[in-house]
Structure 1
Amino acid sequence: MAGTSKRNWLRAKGSPSESRVSFLELFFDLVFVFSISQLSHALAAHYTPLGALEAGLMTFAVWWVWIFTTWVTNWLDPDKMAVRGMLVVLMLLGLVLSASIPEAFGDKGLLFAGSYVLMQVGRSLFACYAVKSDALKYRNFVRISSWLIFSGVFWIAGGVLEHEARLIAWLIGLAIEYAAPASGFAVPGLGKSTAADWDVSGAHMAERCALFVIICLGEAVLVSGRTFSEMPFSPLTAVVFGTGFAGTVAMWWLYFRFGHERAAHRIEHDETPGSLARLAFTYAHIPILAGIIVHAVAVEFMFSHPHETGNLGVMASVLGGSGLFLAGNLWFKGATSGRMPLSHLAGLVLLILLAFIAPFIEVYLAGILAMLVLIIVAAWEYKSLAGQTVGHTVH
């Protein structure tokens, strides 16, 4: 019994600390401010189909290591010294991971892959040890560790390989990891997890993901402000700056005014919060994250190529950032409310229609139109939901 009590690192059920986000978790998130910055710069610097694929892969990897850590700290108490130590080590590895992003497909491939695998496997094995007294959680983390070790082989192999072989190996490793939760982390001889096994704190999960969205939006604001400060002032740069800022504010409004609030309420009262957390937070937030990163890149292009026309790649970023963000919110809000918001569907249709005229208009005008679509969707949603209680699910 004494050994068990010494390793009681779980959050106390029913206590205020169960759903509270600790200061150390917020400190841990600072590493990912750097990650998001590196990802947006990498995409802007290598804006080709291959560069977009590579940036997308790294975005998926960064999100996956963060969300897996969030799941673990949903159960483990960051106020315990051993858990604090784990998070500090993960911060150091995350800093190495982030620093290697610009050259992940160059000379620092093994550094990127090694730090990623150490974070994923190391954290999961630590969780196995930490929850050993809880047979159900222990089996779950053994299954998770098995999947991460298997995928880690492809990550390390990719770090050693070069060019297309590295990309293929990492795509296989990423596919394995993303398929794992959907399969219940099934392992021969160990069975698989069910939604009922994941007794998460919904309030903690919702707040952690909301804070990550804030990080991403903050990076978009920083990109806009930094670029604006480095350019000579003109009416056009002022317009682009205002457009980028207004678009970011609209994204904040769309996510936080109704989406996050309703999602937090729903998951706290759901009979199987683990299943909802997997769908709404683990998966549905990926296009939200990607949309904000692409939006930040689009703002850079609006500053550097405001009058350009006919560049389909640049136009794809200008319209695609808003489109990805709306699609992610559509998925997120549909999963947590039971109905797809009509306003978001209409917004996606408007962006598709804009794509037909995008080749014939200047980049900054396309940015203004994309921003106006976000504002229209936000106003429509506000008008349709204003005055309703949080518990309602009508969109």
Structure 2
Amino acid sequence: MTTVPLARTGHHRSEVGPVELFFDLVYVFAIIQLSHLLIDHLSWTGAAQTAIVFAAVWWGWNYTAWAMNWLDPGKTPVQLLSGVLMLAALGMAITIPSAFGDGVWLFIGCYLFMGILRPVFMMVAYRGQRLSANYRMLLLWTLMAGAFWIAGAALSEEWRLLLWLIAVLVDYAAPLAHYRIPGVGAAPMHTWDTDANHLAERNRLVFIIALGESVLLMGGAVVEQGQLTGALALSLLVGFASLFVLWWNYFALAGPDTSGGDSSTGALRSAYAYAHAFMVLGAILVAVSIELRLTHDHLTPASILITTAGPLVYLVGNILFLRSRFGSLARSRFIAMGALILITIGALLLGGRLPVLVLSVAVLAVTATLAARTARRRLA
């Protein structure tokens, strides 16, 4: 087999290189921007726009992480590629607040530039190899989705949301369809030789970034209040406990343990490309809900829904992850989701009569109980 000069080799293949960590710094800013986009547009339309923008931001990070699964981060051309992709990701992050407004062309321009540059680079780096043919099919699907991204940008905002939703569905359906185009070819999952340990570490790191956003929002919200009162300190304590329990559920108890489990590329695709999208989005929603509860004295329907949506969305991803890697039904997660739905209904019925702290403690009780139950099972 022909040697690929830029490929990862040897026993260091699974290591995350410094240039990968450097690339992730942009996503600290991107997640902050996503959080503020939702905070500034607390409506169903704002939530839909945030979800679409998050889907694009996540897919840009996800495909870059997968490309680095095969590229040696110590090689100069790979480092230059990462730098260019990082600049494009920064352009996307800057325009997140105006992605549905004046910044539309820069947002999709940077996204599509990343989507085209990555596969072209991989096709050249792995020319003559199966991976090059795979990336050719990936590029064709990216171009198909790109037509909807561009059409959405060209038309009015009323059409933009619908067309960009179609673009997201095309992008996310590509791996599920094995990048198949009738009469042209396909790239089945078993032809992608992936490293489970590297992908797990990359996704752990980006989840830490999402959790870090909660710390930034909590600290900023407290500073803006000017004085740390007893009530604010109690709310901060509950918010931090909620964040810590989420970390515990992910890393200490239900995180991506790569020892054992299904390491086929199809399973890794579900566990990291899709399941982690839900878990990272859940962490972002938790950050937004903490900020809202620290800065508002009463509950609104929007703040109630975001408070329970964070752990709900995270648990959807957690269930998908455990199902993909270990074939577990994770019944305890379904029970926790049911409890959160009941809390949501009760809080909406009570409306503004329910104290903010009571809702926070109720949600914390569910997630903490789940963590404690899983801890007992692991110690048994």
> TM-score normalised by the shorter chain: which range applies?
over 0.9
Instruction: Note the C-alpha offset of 1:179.
Output: 0.8
Partner of 2:8: 11
Specify whether residues 170 and 257 from structure 1 end up closer, same or farther in structure 2 by C-alpha distance, changes over 3 A only. Answer: same
Say whether 1:386 aligns with 2:376.
Answer: no
Task: Name the % identity.
Answer: 35
Partner of 1:299: 290
Partner of 2:356: 363
Partner of 1:61: 56
Partner of 1:29: 24
Instruction: Note the C-alpha offset of 1:386.
Output: 2.0
Deviations 1:60-96 (A, max 9, x none): 1111111111111001111111111110000001001
Which deviates further from its counterpart, 357-366 or 43-52?
Answer: 357-366
Instruction: Note the C-alpha offset of 1:148.
Output: 0.5
Deviations 1:315-341 (A, max 9, x none): 000111111112211221222221122
Native 8 Å contact 1:333 1:339 kept in 2:
yes
Deviations 1:273-299 (A, max 9, x none): 211111111111121111111111111
CA distance in structure 2 between the partners assigned to 1:357 and 1:330 by the alignment: 25
Which of 227, 238, 241 is residue 246 of structure 1 equivalent to?
A: 241
- Residue correspondence of structure 1 range 183-262 to structure 2 within 5 A: 183-231=177-225, 232-262=227-257
Instruction: Note the C-alpha offset of 1:365.
Output: 1.6
Partner of 2:276: 285
- Residue correspondence of structure 1 range 1-395 to structure 2 within 5 A: 8-12=5-9, 15-134=10-129, 136-231=130-225, 232-262=227-257, 264-266=258-260, 270=262, 273-308=264-299, 311-359=300-348, 360=350, 361-386=354-379
Native 8 Å contact 1:139 1:190 kept in 2:
no
Taking structure 1 as the reference length, the TM-score comes to 0.91
Native 8 Å contact 2:62 2:273 kept in 1:
yes
Native 8 Å contact 1:109 1:158 kept in 2:
no
Count of matched residue positions in the alignment of Structure 1 and Structure 2: 375
Aligned-partner residue type, residue 294 of structure 1: L
Aligned-partner residue type, residue 7 of structure 2: L
CA distance in structure 2 between the partners assigned to 1:305 and 1:230 by the alignment: 12
Aligned-partner residue type, residue 194 of structure 1: P
Instruction: Note the C-alpha offset of 1:348.
Output: 1.0
Give the ranges of 4+ consecutive aligned residues of structure 1 lying more than 3 Å apart after TM superposition.
Answer: none
CA distance in structure 2 between the partners assigned to 1:72 and 1:209 by the alignment: 14
Aligned-partner residue type, residue 57 of structure 2: V
Aligned-partner residue type, residue 283 of structure 1: Y
Partner of 1:392: none
Which deviates further from its counterpart, 218-227 or 164-173?
Answer: 164-173
Query: RMSD over aligned Cα, in angstroms?
Result: 1.6
Instruction: Note the C-alpha offset of 1:301.
Output: 1.3
CA distance in structure 2 between the partners assigned to 1:260 and 1:209 by the alignment: 10
Deviations 1:331-366 (A, max 9, x none): 212222211223222211211221232132222321
Instruction: Note the C-alpha offset of 1:251.
Output: 0.7
Aligned-partner residue type, residue 332 of structure 1: F
Taking structure 2 as the reference length, the TM-score comes to 0.95
Q: Which runs of 5+ in 1 are unaligned?
A: 388-395
CA distance in structure 2 between the partners assigned to 1:260 and 1:298 by the alignment: 22
Deviations 1:233-288 (A, max 9, x none): 211111111111111111111111133353x1135xx4x52111111111111211
Instruction: Note the C-alpha offset of 1:52.
Output: 0.3
CA distance in structure 2 between the partners assigned to 1:316 and 1:296 by the alignment: 13
CA distance in structure 1 between the partners assigned to 2:369 and 2:342 by the alignment: 15
